[in-house]
Structure 1
Amino acid sequence: MHSVGLLVYPGFQSLALAVATAFEYANLMHGSAAYDFAVVSEPGGAVASSQGFAVQTEAWGERTFDTLIVAGDNECRLPPRSLIERVRASAARSRRMASICTGAFVLAEAGLLDGRKATTHWLHARAFRERYPRVQMEEDRIFVIDGPVWTSAGMSAGLDLALAVIEKDLGRKLALTIARKLVIYQRRGGGQSQFSTLLELDARSDRVQTALAYARENLASDLSVEVLANAAHLSPRQFSRVFREETGQPPAKAIERLRVEAARLMMETSRHPIEVIARETGFGDRERMRQAFLRAFGQPPQAIQRISANAELV
């Protein structure tokens, strides 16, 4: 049985508790008690969350966990120094150390991320980088695995991290089954961006939103201005003007970003050759996709694919 501890301290973000459900369903669907999960704090007893309600916790005591997950808070406030020291000491006894969101600040303060890659919520990435220059911050990642240390981005990414832990321990099939049970479309790969192109475009009018939704559902098809304008029930000239006014960019650039996002996701969740991914996401050929990846990530598709493959092997 794997023991998992979720470490909280006063002011912790309550969404971190969601990881408990992933391990609960792992036990239910595995057919045996695969995980012994506990919410712990340094003193034990009731610990207040960021929302004000308190959660009953076990005293950490001398207990050792196979996987210790440090919850974050909303303000990047560090817990007492005594807790930081205990986190540092526990790394020698735990198989995995992990963090959710700003919990990465706790791991970094304990010196566990020095010389390693890590991520945290994008909003706090700059502050993290300035405070811990010895850590390689990868702010555009859902979660990062570097040896025995796992870090995840914003709070919902804690579920992705928990599912990745379950996949590593008990297999991909069970992790995907749990994701479906939790009504998660699919387990996001660690290399997936924290950002969604559709959210960033922030189209205001129904017509532009309709065109973007059409594009997302038909990436492999012709998505010329004429086609998108027809979906929006506007003339091509009107559509181009309204689209640029609302999103700050021309339609062609937005479509490229949607295709890059979809192609990267395919790399993380399948083993399709690059030629197939290029065709399925509307690039047509690998060279056009390569140029788009260089513009978006500064790396070719092969480099992104290698990162995803290495993450699966960890």
Structure 2
Amino acid sequence: MNNTPQAKPRHRILLVGFPPAQMLDISGPLDVFTIANELSEAAGCGAPYQIDLAAPSAGALMTTSGVSLQAEFSLLDTTLRPDTVLVCGGRGARVASRDAGLVKALATLCDRAHRVGSICTGAFPLAATGALDGHRATTHWGHFDEFSDQFPHIDIDRDALFLSAGKCHTSAGITAGIDFCLSLVEKDLGRAIALSVARELVVFMKRPGGQSQFSTLLMHDAAGTGAGKAPFAELVSWMAEHLTDDLSVDVLAGRVAMSPRHFARRFSVALKVAPGRYVQMLRLEAARRLLTESTLSVKQIADRCGFQSVETMRIAFQRNLNTSPSEFRDRFQTIE
């Protein structure tokens, strides 16, 4: 009888990119799993992952950086049997989400896998397969509205760095793919290995706050000229310049000659956020900018941004960004 221990089959991870793909959406996860392999091998446990790259066709996969990567496999290869499929983002991914042939091939591939995820705008082709229907998902903050328009039946989470819905997982923009893949390593191999990988990469194991701490009010295209937005373009510019004023619904409605109820409804439809929430986001945006670009005290910033007190600003930061103003400044201040 042979008592020799059998090597545990490696977990096969297939990264899927569509040209032009976002380089870091591929290289970030690749480094996470590669370092996990190196650390596991150093501990005498063997490499737990096999990592492959697929594209619409095998061969050179162009990235948005202008550098091509080598895809070992074609997405159309019916012999592929990955354990995990991770769909990477980039301009090509958004285009691919409208290509029926590529979406069908991706759907077939995802059906074969035990775990499926997306990095950044890789959520677009993944959503097109129907895998995310009826679930919450996230993507890069700059494409929230585009995603919601294309997939109205999917509940977009505008703050999560990554989240799960059954066997499907989605993550936010670009470097959030590293956060997400660290969470997969933790689930697969345990917290100790995941922490070691994070240390090697010099990143947070779990980044404080959500992706809203990096986004701006441009995500709402507030000054755009799209349908329904024009009446509020001048108003939102005025609001941003008068944060210490009374910005109640009654006052704002009066400035555009609407009744409060009609204004609140029209504003919410046009900008996809309620007036009160938009005011708070304007104040948070201004506070974030001053915390990173000035040496003003937290109290001075609270006053300048229209918060009633430092405590009111602290609560807003904690509720929306999962961090405090002081912690935010420590992490992101750009001046000495």
TM-score computed with the length of structure 2 as normaliser: 0.64
Q: Does the 8 Å CA contact 1:179/1:187 hold for their aligned counterparts?
A: no
Quote the Cα distance in structure 1 between the aligned partners of 2:106 and 2:29.
19
1:254 equivalent in structure 2: 313
2:63 equivalent in structure 1: 49
Please give the residue correspondences for 1:206-221 in structure 2 after superposition, counting only pairs within 5 Å: 206-208=294-296, 211-212=297-298
Structure 1 residues 207, 67: CA separation in 2 closer, same or farther (over 3 Å shift)?
A: same
Structure 1 residues 185, 199: CA separation in 2 closer, same or farther (over 3 Å shift)?
A: farther
2:36 equivalent in structure 1: 26
* Structure 1 counterpart SS, 2:164: strand
Q: Does the 8 Å CA contact 1:71/1:101 hold for their aligned counterparts?
A: yes
Please give the residue correspondences for 1:1-314 in structure 2 after superposition, counting only pairs within 5 Å: 1-16=10-25, 17-31=27-41, 32-60=46-74, 61=77, 62-74=79-91, 77-79=94-96, 80-188=99-207, 192-196=209-213, 201-203=288-290, 206-208=294-296, 211-212=297-298, 225=299, 239=300, 244-245=303-304, 247=305, 249=307, 252=310, 253-260=312-319, 264=322
Quote the Cα distance in structure 1 between the aligned partners of 2:287 and 2:68.
35
1:297 equivalent in structure 2: none
Quote the Cα distance in structure 1 between the aligned partners of 2:285 and 2:198.
23
**Count of aligned residue pairs for this structure pair:** 234
Quote the Cα distance in structure 2 between the aligned partners of 1:24 and 1:155.
18
Structure 1 residues 259, 59: CA separation in 2 closer, same or farther (over 3 Å shift)?
A: closer
Q: Does the 8 Å CA contact 2:179/2:205 hold for their aligned counterparts?
A: no
* Stretch moving more, 114-123 or 145-154: 114-123
Q: Cα distance, 1:76 vs. partner? A: 6.0
1:60-92 deviation line (CA, Å, top 9, x unaligned): 322121111111114763224322111111122
**RMSD of aligned alpha carbons:** 2.5
* Stretch moving more, 250-259 or 117-126: 250-259
* Structure 1 counterpart SS, 2:123: helix
Q: Does the 8 Å CA contact 1:141/1:193 hold for their aligned counterparts?
A: yes
One-letter code of the match for 1:68?
V
TM-score computed with the length of structure 1 as normaliser: 0.68
Structure 1 residues 201, 78: CA separation in 2 closer, same or farther (over 3 Å shift)?
A: same
Unaligned runs of 5+ in 2: 1-9, 214-283, 328-336
Unaligned runs of 5+ in 1: 213-224, 226-238, 267-280, 282-314
* Structure 2 counterpart SS, 1:77: helix
